[in-house]
């Protein structure tokens, strides 16, 4: 097997983008993502920093050019900056075109400058509200001021910041104009995401769900939107806002499929390859990773997983509000 052979699934889609989870743990408990009381994976089941680097490097040799580090909250992982530092060699030699991070922002102020030194140029920060009391309620324990401080520190360090906001019925409608104004007024794009039916979070998903078709109509009562073909490599579809010149993204796993051009796979912190966020299909990479010092078995397992990548996801919210999949978002990232 030629490790330099690029990865393509049975539908001819080339995989060039890996979202790598480094932990299932998080310092927040957002109501759409996690239950208030969570049982996290034993640390012995989590890949070491060295194993994560070896796994990532194997994907890079197969033509994966874009990495997003996710969680849980990736910055709570002990030694996480050692992983960024190691992966930075692939950024310097040009094999890795982009190394990015999705974070809740609570620890961003502490790490922003070092992230830049490691070759990270862009981060996504989750921010669902600008109201401090509402933020505390959504996250069940977070501080809005801490996250806003993290965003400011990231921008001061030279990072490009994009905001992600999960659209929640009864919340986002009240704040969507303020969120757009806040983001664009500070040089940031913002992407709205439909709530994804992953894991039992102790809430009825039918009460949370706000279709982005409906949210877009509300945005258009104040802002002038023009569709654009621009893409960032992920599933978001973008519009330009006439009044600001910046972008709003829409990620619509429930109301509009974005699977035809999917170029992404995900690997959990336990080394499980998921070729679709909305399907249970998976293949273990930890066993071949730990079973041999050479990478032949690892590459063979990657090939098997990529060939089995499904045509698309099957997200849905049942009539009783039950999740489509038992796996929590925090186990794999978005």
Q: Please count the residues of the chain.
A: 334
Whether residue 88 lies inside any domain: the answer is yes
pLDDT of res. 331:
57
pLDDT of res. 65:
96
pLDDT of res. 1:
45
C-alpha to C-alpha distance for 156 and 107, rounded to whole angstroms? 15
Whether residue 15 lies inside any domain: the answer is no
Domain count, the chain: 1
Contact 224, 243 (CB under 8 A): yes
Contact 181, 156 (CB under 8 A): no
Whether residue 217 lies inside any domain: the answer is yes
* CATH number of the domain that residue 105 is part of: 3.20.20.70
C-alpha to C-alpha distance for 284 and 267, rounded to whole angstroms? 9
> Distance of CA 228 to CAs 92, 231, 248, 274, Å?
31, 9, 10, 30
Please give the residue range of the domain that contains residue 176. Answer: 23-319
Whether residue 17 lies inside any domain: the answer is no
Whether residue 9 lies inside any domain: the answer is no
Whether residue 47 lies inside any domain: the answer is yes
pTM for the full predicted model: 0.87
Strand order of the β-sheet with 225-227 is 225-227, 237-241, 247-251, 189-194, 160-167, 122-126, 98-103, 66-70, 17-21, 264-267, 272-274, 283-284
Whether residue 328 lies inside any domain: the answer is no
C-alpha to C-alpha distance for 138 and 248, rounded to whole angstroms? 22
pLDDT of res. 254:
55
Contact 72, 24 (CB under 8 A): yes
Q: How many CB atoms lie within 10 A of CB 312?
A: 15
Residues 6+ away with beta carbon under 8 Å from 214 = none
- Each residue's pLDDT expressed in tens, for the chain with a length of 334 residues: 455 588 998 888 899 999 999 999 999 999 888 888 888 899 899 999 999 999 999 999 999 999 999 999 999 999 999 999 999 999 999 999 999 999 999 999 999 999 999 999 999 999 999 999 999 999 999 999 999 999 999 999 999 999 999 999 999 999 999 999 999 999 999 999 998 665 454 555 567 789 999 999 999 999 999 999 987 767 789 999 999 999 999 998 654 555 666 888 999 999 999 988 766 778 999 999 999 999 999 999 999 999 988 766 554 545 554 545 554 555 555 5
- C-alpha torsion angle, residues 88, 58, 45, 17 (rounded to 10): 70
Whether residue 2 lies inside any domain: the answer is no
C-alpha to C-alpha distance for 164 and 232, rounded to whole angstroms? 13
Contact 282, 274 (CB under 8 A): yes
DSSP string of 243-277?
Answer: TTS-EEEEE-TTTS---TT--EEEE-TTSEEES-T
């Amino acid at each position: 097997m030629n490790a330099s052979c690029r990865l393509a699934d049975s539908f001819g889609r080339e995989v060039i983008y890996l979202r790598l989870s480094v932990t299932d743990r998080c310092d927040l408990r957002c109501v759409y993502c996690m239950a208030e009381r969570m049982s996290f994976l034993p640390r012995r089941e989590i890949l070491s920093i060295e194993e994560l680097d070896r796994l990532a490097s194997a994907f890079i040799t197969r033509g994966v050019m874009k990495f997003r580090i996710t969680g849980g909250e990736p910055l709570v992982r002990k030694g996480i900056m050692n992983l960024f530092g190691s992966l930075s060699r692939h950024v310097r030699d040009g094999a890795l075109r982009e190394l990015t991070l999705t974070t809740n922002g609570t620890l961003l102020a502490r790490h922003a400058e070092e992230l830049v030194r490691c070759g990270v140029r862009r981060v996504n920060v989750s921010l669902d509200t600008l109201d401090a009391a509402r933020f505390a309620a959504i996250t069940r324990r977070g501080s809005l001021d801490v996250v806003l401080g993290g965003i400011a520190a990231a921008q001061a360090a030279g990072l490009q910041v994009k905001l992600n906001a999960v659209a929640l019925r009864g919340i986002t409608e009240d704040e969507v104009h303020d969120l757009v104004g806040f983001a664009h007024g500070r040089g940031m794009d913002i992407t709205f995401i439909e709530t994804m039916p992953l894991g039992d979070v102790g809430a009825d998903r039918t009460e949370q769900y706000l279709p982005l078709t409906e949210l877009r109509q509300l945005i258009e009562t104040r802002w002038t939107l023009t569709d654009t073909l621009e893409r960032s490599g992920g599933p978001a579809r973008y519009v330009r806002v006439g009044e600001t010149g910046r972008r709003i993204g829409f990620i619509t796993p429930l109301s509009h499929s974005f699977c035809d051009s999917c170029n992404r796979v995900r690997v959990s912190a336990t080394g499980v390859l998921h070729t679709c966020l909305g399907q249970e299909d998976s293949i273990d990479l930890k066993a071949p990773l730990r079973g041999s010092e050479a990478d032949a078995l690892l590459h063979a397992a990657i090939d098997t997983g990529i060939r089995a990548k499904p045509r698309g996801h099957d997200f849905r919210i049942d009539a009783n509000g039950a999740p489509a999949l038992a796996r929590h978002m925090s186990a794999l990232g978005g």
